[in-house]
Each structure stands twice: as C-alpha cells, then as structure tokens.
C-alpha cells in the first residue's frame, strides 16, 4: 500500500486551486477584451480587486497588519516588476492565440525554473524532476506540432512571459522562506495597481457596465486566489516539485477553449496532455518515495 506524505498532498491541493484560478483568469481576460477593455485596464481591474479584498481583510483582522509591513522590498519589487511585464505579455497573447496554445507555450517556463532552482535555491536535482520537464516539453511539442501551421508572432510574447515567470517562481520561493503568503500577495497588489493605472483610460474603468461585472469578478477572484494558492504550494514543497504540476493547465484550458470558444480540440492535444500527465504522475510518485522513506512498507 502506498503511503502518501502530507506535504505532498498539500502541494497537490494548492496546485489544483492554482490551476483552476489561472484558467478562470484566462477566460476573464478574454471576455473583458471582447467587451472593449485594454490590457492596462484589465490588469488594473485584477490588481485593484485584489487590493480591495486585502484592505478589507486588514480592516477586519488587525492581526494581519504586521504581515503587511514593508519587508524585503528589493525582492518584492523585482518579483512584481518582472511579473507585471510577463502577465502583460501573457494577457496580450490570450487575445490573439488559442487558449491551449498560450498555455502550452507558457510551459517552457519549468525548464528555466529547473535550471535556475539549483543555482539560486540550492535545491537538489533528481531524475524524476528532470524527466517531468522533458516529458512536459515533449507534450508541448506534440500539442503545437511545429511547422504544421503558420507561425503567429504573438507566440514570442508567451515565450518571453515564460522566462519572466520562471524568475517569478524563484523569487516567490525565496520570499516564502521569510514572508507570509498574505504579505507576498499584498505587496504584489500594492506595486502593480499603480502600474496599471498609468496606461488605463479612467473613464473606461469608472463607466463599467453590467456586462463587465462577471468577468471582472472572475479576474479579481482568480488573480488573488492563484497567487495565494501558488505561494502556499511553494511553502509546502520545492519549486522543482511545484512547477511541473502546473503542466496540468494545458489539458484543462484546452477543454475550456473548446467548450466556450469553439477552439479545435484534436487528438494531438489529448496525446500531448497524456504525455504531460504521465510525467507529472511519475514525479509525484518519486517525490513521495524520496521524502517518506521511513514510512515505506518493509
């Protein structure tokens, strides 16, 4: 009988929340774009809603205020500056490419993270951690089938965002060593909200109609929930364990794109997803065996 480590279970549960939250964000971004919002305005809604929720929590729970004090601001500024540029590129790509393609290209990010984590976080490399990235990238290539269709230059935006997200992953892990999840998410909203307002048309934000409410709520809730879940996943496990689980976003968003936007769902997407899932399962079993050797059956 396989004994499941509690930390591993927590990582998986937090990452399920992360996957659902990012998918909700992707749909919300596209819907707000279709309703005439610019990317700056969409990101302003995202960070503004997160900031409002966090300020309400601070007012209701004074004990949280100590976590909102400015700490490690250099690392916070680096994380949130890189994250803002990356999510801007990601949001633009969501309006120009199929959802599954955006998410698939985004998953060049774990390869960078696996390379950077041992250097910056001193995490140990294992065969399963390398293998899950290799299988994940193979799955991405199967989904994209390079050369099968005309190349869209917007793909470069996703590739650039993927490199930026790998830096965000590393800095988030470093912040979780000393900072609370609340503090990390709070300073993300504080830093990024003014950046979004700089390029926004204030009249568009102040005159939002009923048709904007649902996707705006989805963007705000998904935005704060994704980072809350991701920060807690990093708190429970190594970056090289957490990041490969994010590969599961590809088959999930492929189904969402097919169901809501009629995007083509073919055998190559399913085959690529199967390869990705196989790598994730292999790594999870290997990680569980590595961190619970004393609980293994005789």
As a whole number of angstroms, the distance between CA 34 and CA 29 comes to 9
Tell me which residue of 16, 236, 284, 245 sits closest to 113, measured CA to CA.
245
Q: How confident is the model at residue 19 (pLDDT cuts 50, 70, 90)?
A: confident
Residue 83, pLDDT score:
93
Domain boundaries, the chain: 6-295
Radius of gyration of the chain (CA): 19
As a whole number of angstroms, the distance between CA 72 and CA 52 comes to 23
- Residue owning tokens 């209701």: 60
- The mean pLDDT value of the chain amounts to 82
Q: What is the DSSP string of 19-69?
A: HHHHHHHHHHHHHHHHTT--HHHHHHHHHHHHHHHHHHHHHH-GGGGGGGS
Q: Give the tens place of pLDDT for each residue, 208-245.
A: 888 999 999 899 888 888 878 887 887 777 766 776 77
The answer to whether 40 and 194 are in contact (CB under 8 A) is no
Residue 96's SS3 state is coil
The structure's pTM equals: 0.76
Q: Enter the DSSP assignment of 4.
A: P
Q: Give the tens place of pLDDT for each residue, 100-133.
A: 888 877 777 766 777 777 777 677 777 877 887 7
The answer to whether 10 and 241 are in contact (CB under 8 A) is no
For residue 188 the two structure tokens come to 């993300």
Tell me which residue of 35, 27, 150, 168 sits closest to 94, measured CA to CA.
27
């Amino acid at each position: 009988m396989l004994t499941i480590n509690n930390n591993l279970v927590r990582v998986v549960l937090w990452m399920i929340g992360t996957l659902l939250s990012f998918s909700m964000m992707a749909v919300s971004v596209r819907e707000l774009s279709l309703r005439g919002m610019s990317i700056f305005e969409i990101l302003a809604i995202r960070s503004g809603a997160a900031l409002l929720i966090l300020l309400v929590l601070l007012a209701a729970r004074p004990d949280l205020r100590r976590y909102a004090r400015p700490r490690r601001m250099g690392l916070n500024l680096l994380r949130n500056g890189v994250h803002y540029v990356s999510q801007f590129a990601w949001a633009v790509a969501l309006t120009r490419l199929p959802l599954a393609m955006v998410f698939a290209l985004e998953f060049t990010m774990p390869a960078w993270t696996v390379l950077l984590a041992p250097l910056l976080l001193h995490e140990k490399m294992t065969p399963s951690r390398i293998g899950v990235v290799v299988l994940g990238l193979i799955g991405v290539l199967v989904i994209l089938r390079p050369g099968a269709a005309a190349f869209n230059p917007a793909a470069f935006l996703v590739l650039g965002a993927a490199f930026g997200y790998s830096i965000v992953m590393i800095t988030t892990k470093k912040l979780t060593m000393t900072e609370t999840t609340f503090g990390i998410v709070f300073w993300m909203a504080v830093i990024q909200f003014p950046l979004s307002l700089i390029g926004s048309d204030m009249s568009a934000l102040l005159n939002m109609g009923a048709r904007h409410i649902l996707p705006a709520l989805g963007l705000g809730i998904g935005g704060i929930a994704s980072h809350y879940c991701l920060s807690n996943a990093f708190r429970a496990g190594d970056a090289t364990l957490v990041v490969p689980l994010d590969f599961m976003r590809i088959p999930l968003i492929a189904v969402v794109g097919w169901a809501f936007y009629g995007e083509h769902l073919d055998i190559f997407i399913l085959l690529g997803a199967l390869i990705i899932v196989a790598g994730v399962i292999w790594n999870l079993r290997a990680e569980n065996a590595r961190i619970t050797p004393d609980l293994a059956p005789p």
